[in-house]
Chain A
Amino acid sequence: MLSIARGELVQIFRNRSVLINSFVVPVAISAFFIYQHEVFAQLGSLGYIAAIVMFTVCAFGLYTSAVTTMASRRQNLFMKRLRSTAAGDAGILAGLVLPVTVIALVQVIVILTVLGVVTGMPDDIALLAVALLATVAMMVGLGLATAGLTNSPEHAQVTTLPVSLGVIAVASWVGISGTEDLALLKRLLPGGSATELVVNAWNGGVAVTDSLLLLAPTLAWVVVAVALAARLFRWEPRRTG
């Protein structure tokens, strides 16, 4: 797994368009949110900014590059090549998504640290970390499922839009309007409860037990995503002949 991950890391840094689209753009957007934090804090709260930068990195960085990577490695038969070795399927997948996952985690941690330094520290760092890990797991799972529906890296530009724009929209909706009305719907949508969890962890004022219940929908989405991935994921391009 680690040798595959090392190879992936090398490939990410050699492929400039992947590097820029997936890692520079989310950081730039996040920097804008932090720079304009007074405006956005007034619109929602500081917790909303934390949630939106986390989802920006996870949706455009992590999720989109995971799907693009899978589609690309399948299309050029690199996955088949890996499966010609003694490596198991789980190890291959883990190796392929590990670098983008670690990069996304580091990005979010650095960006939130900057936000904390600029605006004041979050109320509950441990809860924030739990929310981040659950969100990353959900986005990786959704990425594997989406990869099954994606034929090529170019195709990924289309297939990733519903989920990436969807979770950003949900995060903005929940982060700005809160969950006082339509609470059930907002919490069940992918990213909704994770957003509320991040907002609570950052702003404080909500009992930890209440917040932890919000993990359930996110973890349910992880299960749904993995189940979808198991049905949809393909290791080789569709046979054309």
Chain B
Amino acid sequence: MTSPPVIDVDRLDVKYGDFHAVRSLSFQVRRGEFYALLGTNGAGKTSTLETIEGHRVPTSGTVRVLGHSPADRAAVRPRMGIMLQESGFSPDLTVRESVRLIGELTQRTDRVERVLGIVDLTRKANTKVSHLSGGEKRRLDFATAVYGTPELVFLDEPTTGLDVQSRDALWDAVDKLREDGSTIVLTTHYLEEAQQRADRVGLMHRGTFHREGTVAELTRTLPAMIRFALPPSAPALPLPGKRESDGKFLIETHRLQKDMAVLLRWAEDHAVELQELQAGPTRLDDVFRAIDD
């Protein structure tokens, strides 16, 4: 038995005047899934996300969220939390007042102190928003998004400007939401975050999907990399490799384990030291870099 998708986007187009931000995009997000929308700047991530959230109207195509039109705020918003890309809090209200106001307006029930605790802003509860740092504002935004533990949470670049501890704390909170069954939709510039956490990734480029799938599916198609530096006296390599601008050698391979063994044996036989040796599967970054190739 499959439950209906939490998000169902069908041939979505978004245009601003002459600019075609999103082109015929279709995808679904299932209940409980962690879905990451990635892409270069101007790829159409935020336009897509804001259309799903209900901030923008599709030029054509349909979007359904939790079985409703995103424009039906009374039906969908009590069930979803939104962390916007830019904070949008009133500078003259305190942290506690901001969370209480936005929390009440979501129509969910929760305790202000609880969500402030999650983002470690309890000590700042009576501080005006104008006195918060950029990172603290991001945490305040996250606090309002998770107020009342909504079943669907949108995180638009959630960790921009956060230090390492805050970032870890935020992901811990997201993990807890997932344990409670929440569906997460993320956009981020930090590809590692998507690589580590996302069940599926939609990789956007010029308004449409360049690729979509699990992280493994996305990276599988690209070769793994072996990188090292060699002393000038070293004999010819046993494998085809290329010399990069920093003087290091790069070997691309679809048979990492086998080629690694060949390389190590060759180094052993010729008593060559492979300096700064690194080897690993393709990272999401490389998938990204490969977009324009």
| B84-A84 in contact (CB<8A) | yes
Given A4-B101, A7-B97, A80-B84, also A85-B106 (CB < 8 A): yes
B82 nearest in chain A by CB position? A84
B78 cross-chain contacts in A, Cβ below 8 A? 86
Q: Does B114 contact A (CB under 8 A)?
A: no
Q: Is B73 an interface residue (CB 8 A)?
A: yes
Contact B106 A7 (CB under 8 A): no
On chain B, the residues within 8 Å of A11 by CB distance are 90, 92-93
Q: Say which size band chain A's interface belongs to.
A: 20 to 34
- In the complex, A83→B55 CA distance in Å? 8
Closest to B145 in A: A84
B residues 179-207 in Cβ contact with A at 8 Å? none
- Residues in A with CB closer than 8 Å to B102 are 81-82, 84-85
How far is it, in angstroms, between the C-alpha of A84 and the C-alpha of B128 when the chains are bound?
A: 21
Return the chain A residue nearest B94 by Cβ. A10
Q: Is the pair A76, B73 in contact by a Cβ cutoff of 8 Å?
A: no
Residues B88 and A86 in contact, CB atoms below 8 Å apart: no
- Once the chains are docked, how many angstroms separate the CA of A91 from the CA of B42? 33
Partner of B89, one of A10, A78, A86, A236: A78
Interface range on chain B (Cβ under 8 Å from partner): 20 to 34
Known contacts A11-B90, A78-B90, A80-B84: does B101 contact A3 (CB below 8 Å)?
yes
Contact with A along B64-77 (1 / 0, CB 8 A): 00000000011001
User: Are the CB atoms of A80 and B97 closer together than 8 Å?
Assistant: no
Query: Whole-angstrom distance from the CB of A206 to the nearest CB of chain B?
Result: 46
CA distance A1 to B108 in the complex (A): 16
B55 contacts A84, C-beta separation under 8 Å? yes
Interface residues of B in 80-135 (CB under 8 A from A): 82, 84, 86-93, 97, 100-102, 104-107, 128
Shortest C-beta distance, A92 to chain B (Å), equals 9
Asked if A88 and B92 sit within 8 Å, CB to CB, the answer is: no
- Is residue A231 within 8 Å, beta carbon to beta carbon, of the partner chain? no
Q: Which of B115-174 contact A (CB under 8 A)?
A: 128
Q: Which of A10, A86, A239 has the most CB of B within 10 A?
A: A86
- CB B99 to nearest CB in A, in angstroms, measures 12
A213 at the interface (CB under 8 A from B): no
Contact B91 A87, beta carbon cutoff 8 Å:
no
Of A73, A80, A81, A87, most buried by chain B (CB within 10 Å of CB) is A81
Given A3-B101, A239-B16, A86-B93 contact (CB < 8 Å): no
Q: Do A77 and B87 touch (CB < 8 A)?
A: yes
Q: Which residues of A contact B128 (CB under 8 A)?
A: 14
List the B side residues contacting A6 at CB < 8 Å: 101
* Complex interface: chain A residues within 8 A of B91 (CB): 76
B252 contacts the other chain (CB 8 A): no
Question: Given A10-B97, A77-B86, A81-B84, are A86 and B106 also a contact pair (CB < 8 Å)?
Answer: yes
| B13 contact set on A, CB distance < 8 A | none
Cβ contacts A to B, 21 pairs, < 8 Å: A4-B105, A6-B101, A7-B93, A11-B93, A15-B92, A76-B88, A76-B91, A78-B88, A79-B88, A80-B55, A81-B84, A82-B102, A82-B105, A83-B55, A84-B82, A85-B73, A85-B77, A85-B102, A86-B73, A86-B106, A88-B74
Ranked 9 nearest A-B pairs via Cβ:
A77-B88, A85-B105, A81-B88, A86-B77, A84-B82, A11-B92, A14-B92, A87-B105, A3-B104
